[in-house]
């Protein structure tokens, strides 16, 4: 007798399970999720994994309101309320996770570029970058310094150093071919300065500009010497009239 009762109980249990399964299927609906091209997204109901979907993926959900969380590496988690009784298609927006990258440098400021695109300016008040997952080809630029480059993988590297080498400029003029001459009349030094690398006109212009006063003094001395060596004419009175007296004799 007990064996018959036990057998009936087993049959009742099996039939109940089948009925519950059928009822569950009858009260469940396929729901489509659009994820804007993002694939391999895990969907959770609280801590229970319901499945993994791609863009326009479908999940069979019970006909009741429920909060589903969508999880994807390198993206922020997104939770939305889903109710198959009111809608069978939902749009899910996943935002890329921004990682804080810290920059260490002794410089006060410099510009930062990613593959030619300006990212920002490093300064005392801005020593970090907010970057998403990926590989960055960074360039660091500052006036008077050599450009530096760095390949950065985020989020593998979140702290790095920047050291720029200062450019040294030799800002000296090449002055050559300097000669000095001394005049017999006054021992005056006369310097001629010629700049290499100029055209003929530029050299002449530079020559006269740089030696203007010396050239003037030299010309003045030459003219003074000419006039001081010229014969002098003396006027003498002859019979009450003035007549010039020079090196020539008087006419008789």
pTM of the model: 0.57
Q: If pLDDT is split at 50, 70 and 90, which confidence band does 223 have?
A: confident
CB 62 within 8 A of CB 88: no
- The tokens for 208 are 């006269």
Same domain, yes or no: 87 and 108: no
d(C-alpha 78, C-alpha 55), whole Å: 15
Same domain, yes or no: 80 and 122: no
In a domain, 247, yes or no: no
| pLDDT (0 to 100) of residue 14 | 66
CA-wise closest residue to 195 among 214, 212, 178: 178
Same domain, yes or no: 104 and 38: no
d(C-alpha 111, C-alpha 123), whole Å: 9
| pLDDT (0 to 100) of residue 24 | 47
The count of structural domains within the chain is 3
For 6-55, write each residue's pLDDT tens digit.
666 666 556 655 545 544 455 799 999 999 999 999 999 999 999 999 99
In a domain, 190, yes or no: yes
Same domain, yes or no: 76 and 112: no
pLDDT at residue 145 greater than cutoff 50: yes
pLDDT at residue 187 greater than cutoff 70: no
Question: Which range has highest mean pLDDT (113-117, 180-184, 228-232)?
Answer: 113-117
Quick one: average pLDDT of 211-237? 68
In a domain, 244, yes or no: no
The structure tokens 């100029």 sit at: 198
d(C-alpha 67, C-alpha 15), whole Å: 32
In a domain, 249, yes or no: no
Same domain, yes or no: 63 and 86: yes
Q: b or e along 93-112 (b: 16 or more beta carbons within 10 Å of the residue's beta carbon)?
A: ebeebebebebebeeeebeb
In a domain, 195, yes or no: yes
In a domain, 224, yes or no: yes
Give the range of the structural domain holding residue 105, as residue numbers without chain letter. 99-161
CB 21 within 8 A of CB 30: no
- Dihedrals phi, psi of 103, to nearest 5 degrees: -110, 130
d(C-alpha 145, C-alpha 156), whole Å: 28
| pLDDT (0 to 100) of residue 122 | 95
| pLDDT (0 to 100) of residue 216 | 77
With both helix axes pointing from N to C terminus, report the angle between 212-229 and 200-210 in degrees, rounded to the nearest 10.
Answer: 70
In a domain, 11, yes or no: yes
In a domain, 76, yes or no: yes
| pLDDT (0 to 100) of residue 62 | 95
| pLDDT (0 to 100) of residue 251 | 45
For 158-171, write each residue's pLDDT tens digit.
999 999 999 998 76
Last residue of a domain, one of 161, 191, 211: 161
Same domain, yes or no: 83 and 6: yes
Q: If pLDDT is split at 50, 70 and 90, which confidence band does 140 have?
A: very high
d(C-alpha 22, C-alpha 130), whole Å: 51
pLDDT at residue 172 greater than cutoff 90: no
Same domain, yes or no: 54 and 116: no
Same domain, yes or no: 138 and 107: yes
* β-pair partners for 71: 42
3-state secondary structure of 218: helix
The residue that leads in pLDDT, 242 or 154, is 154
């Amino acid at each position: 007798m007990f064996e018959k009762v036990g057998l009936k109980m087993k049959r009742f249990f099996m039939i109940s399970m089948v009925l519950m399964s059928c009822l569950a299927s009858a009260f469940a609906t396929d729901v489509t999720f659009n994820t804007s091209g993002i694939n391999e997204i895990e969907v959770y109901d609280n801590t229970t994994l319901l499945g993994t979907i791609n863009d326009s993926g479908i999940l069979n959900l019970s006909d009741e309101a429920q909060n589903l969380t969508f999880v994807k590496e390198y993206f922020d988690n997104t939770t939305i309320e889903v109710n198959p009784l009111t809608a069978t298609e939902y749009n899910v927006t996943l935002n890329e996770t921004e990682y804080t990258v810290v920059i260490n440098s002794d410089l006060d400021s410099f510009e930062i570029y990613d593959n030619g695109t300006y990212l920002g300016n490093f300064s005392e008040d801005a020593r970090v970058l907010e970057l998403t997952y990926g590989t960055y080809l960074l360039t660091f630029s500052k006036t008077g310094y050599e450009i530096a480059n760095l390949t950065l993988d985020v989020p593998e590297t979140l702290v790095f150093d920047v050291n720029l080498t200062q450019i040294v400029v030799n800002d000296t003029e090449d002055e050559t071919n300097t000669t000095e001459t001394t005049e017999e009349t006054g021992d005056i030094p006369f310097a001629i300065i010629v700049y290499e690398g100029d055209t003929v006109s530029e050299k002449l212009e530079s020559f006269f500009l740089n030696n203007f006063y010396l050239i003037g003094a030299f010309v003045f001395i030459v003219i003074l010497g000419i006039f001081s060596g010229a014969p002098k004419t003396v006027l003498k009175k002859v019979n009450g009239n003035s007549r010039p007296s020079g090196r020539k004799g008087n006419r008789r």
